[in-house]
Amino acid sequence: MGGTVVIKWGGGLITHKDKLCTVNQGVIESLAEVCKNSNKNLVIVHGAGSFGHMKAKKYRLADGRIEGIEQDEAVQDVRNDMLELNQIVVTALQAKGLDVKSFPPHKWAKGTGPNFSGNLPIHDGVTVVYGDVVDDYVKDFGILSGDDLMLRYATELSGVERAIFAIGEVDGILRVPPSKAGPDDLIEVWHPEMEFEGEHAVDIDVTGGIGLKAARGAMIASKGVDVILVNGEIPQRVSDAIEGFPVIGTRIVLGNC
Ligand code: IP8
């Protein structure tokens, strides 16, 4: 019944990735409705999509401080844009009557990658965090992906039942890039020894796309927490994944089983 579920709302799912700072309001509202109908303790980690990756790419924020590039304004802008996206997410959840608290990572996390530092904030109701531009000990600043937040929340909170990556446009991890995939190309159970030809929009994304989700998913599974990737555009699937019912998607497991 009321265990904890950590769920990522992918940036490519909740925003229009190729148009600066545009949200997919319908998807956000349907995800909020799914959350309202669950009695799980939810930790929601949302991605950045067009509110983060485009400007971060242009000003090379993932590389940290670079001589000769004026980056300070971009750091501030991306933090503000992410606050704006976060506010849209929080408002949608509150509109469903949920008790929500959001913790902007640039205020409590330092460093990037899976070993970032900072105590994971948690709220009794719905906790919301997101991929952000954070301070960094070595590089001055950098991009902390929501996928790394997923890893840490899913493996360090007690009583986590499962971790879910709700993604856009695809049903899970596909054997071939989405543009070439047919209905049989969904990998229903994936483990790290299995190859897949992920399509990563390196021209847009400053973090790791589907490959990073798979890698962090495997790290989460290695701690004994169930991991599933589902198509976040189909609310019933997100709901079934949260409740632990069988659902179309990709389960990440540890070995060859
Ligand atoms: O979309 C990236 O987070 P992600 C955060 O969860 C920024 O990888 C600001 C680009």
pLDDT at residue 196 greater than cutoff 90:
no
Cα(36) to centroid(ligand 1), Å: 25
Give residue 199's pLDDT band: very low, low, confident or very high (50, 70, 90). low
Q: Which pLDDT value is given to residue 207?
A: 83
CA distances from 245 to 40, 96, 155, 229, 240 (A): 14, 23, 21, 13, 5
- What token pair was written down for 119? 């105590």
Give residue 254's pLDDT band: very low, low, confident or very high (50, 70, 90). confident
- Average of per-residue pLDDT across 201-221: 86
Q: Which pLDDT value is given to residue 208?
A: 78
Q: Could you tell me if residue 138 is left (phi over 0), alpha (psi between -120 and 50 degrees) or otherwise beta?
A: alpha
Topology classification of domain 4-252: Carbamate kinase (3.40.1160)
Percent of the chain scored above 70 by pLDDT? 96
**Pocket lining: 145 vs ligand 1, CB cutoff 6 Å:** yes
pLDDT at residue 257 greater than cutoff 90:
no
Q: Are residues 165 and 252 in contact, defined by beta-carbon separation less than 8 angstroms?
A: no
Beta bridge partners of 127: 43, 101
- Average of per-residue pLDDT across 61-86: 97
**Pocket lining: 56 vs ligand 1, CB cutoff 6 Å:** yes
**Pocket lining: 146 vs ligand 1, CB cutoff 6 Å:** yes
pTM of the entire structure?
Answer: 0.96
State the chain's mean pLDDT as an integer: 94
The sheet carrying 160-167 orders its strands as 100-102, 126-130, 41-46, 4-9, 160-167, 226-231, 250-252, 189-190
Q: Which pLDDT value is given to residue 1?
A: 55
Boundaries of every domain in the chain: 4-252
| Nearest-atom index, ligand 1, CA of 62 | 10
pLDDT at residue 56 greater than cutoff 90:
yes
pLDDT at residue 14 greater than cutoff 70:
yes
| Nearest-atom index, ligand 1, CA of 82 | 9
